[in-house]
């Protein structure tokens, strides 16, 4: 894709700070550095989001995540944890429409990064939960 910033980074048309590269995957520092070491892992092939992956591409990209995560942990022994985040589509906060996975090292609970999961357990009956699960199961099996 000619106007995709991540395609341009992968093609070395735009400079980046690479941390890992092979024939299918390119990983580089996010320029925002939410925390020190914040890394983006992108497939070299342009895919917009997780919905565009085939099984082979997903296997290739996600297989590299533990290796890069361990490298972050070794590079920054003061790291206390790691968030792995993948936003898909604008409503889910995707801002660059070339699929990418954020690896965000965590150094403390006060390091300017947070995720909030609301608890809506009481909003669904057992029957409603079963119906939701069934709807998804039917689609997975197709």
**Kind and range of the H or E run holding 28:** strand 25-29
Give the CATH number of the domain where residue 111 resides: 3.30.428.10
Report yes or no on 129 lying in a domain: no
Which pLDDT belongs to residue 114?
87
Report yes or no on 124 lying in a domain: no
Give the burial class of 49: count Cβ atoms within 10 A of its Cβ; 0-12 exposed, 13-18 middle, 19 or more buried.
Answer: middle
Report yes or no on 64 lying in a domain: yes
Q: Considering 46, 98, 100, 102, which one is annotated as catalytic?
A: 100
Which pLDDT belongs to residue 1?
62
Report yes or no on 128 lying in a domain: no
Report yes or no on 140 lying in a domain: no
Is residue 38 among the annotated active site residues? no
- Domain of residue 91 covers 5-117
Can you give the pLDDT of all 142 residues of the chain as single tens digits?
679 999 999 999 999 999 999 999 999 999 999 999 999 999 999 999 999 999 999 999 999 999 999 999 999 999 999 999 999 999 999 999 999 999 999 999 999 888 889 999 999 999 999 999 999 999 998 7
Integer Cα distance of 79 and 140 in angstroms:
37
Report yes or no on 82 lying in a domain: yes
- Count of domains for the chain: 1
């Amino acid at each position: 894709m000619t106007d995709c910033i991540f395609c341009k980074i992968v093609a070395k048309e735009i400079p980046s700070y690479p941390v890992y590269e092979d024939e299918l995957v390119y990983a580089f520092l996010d320029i925002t550095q939410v925390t020190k070491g914040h890394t983006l892992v992108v497939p070299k092939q342009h895919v917009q989001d997780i919905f565009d992956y085939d099984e082979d591409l997903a296997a290739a990209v996600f297989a590299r995540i533990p290796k890069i995560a361990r490298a972050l942990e070794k590079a920054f022994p003061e790291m206390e944890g790691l968030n792995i985040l993948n936003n898909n589509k604008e409503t889910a906060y995707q801002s660059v429409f070339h699929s990418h996975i954020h690896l965000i090292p965590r150094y403390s609970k006060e390091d300017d990064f947070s995720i909030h999961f609301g608890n809506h357990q009481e909003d669904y009956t057992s029957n409603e939960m079963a119906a939701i699960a069934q709807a998804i199961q039917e689609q997975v099996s197709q």
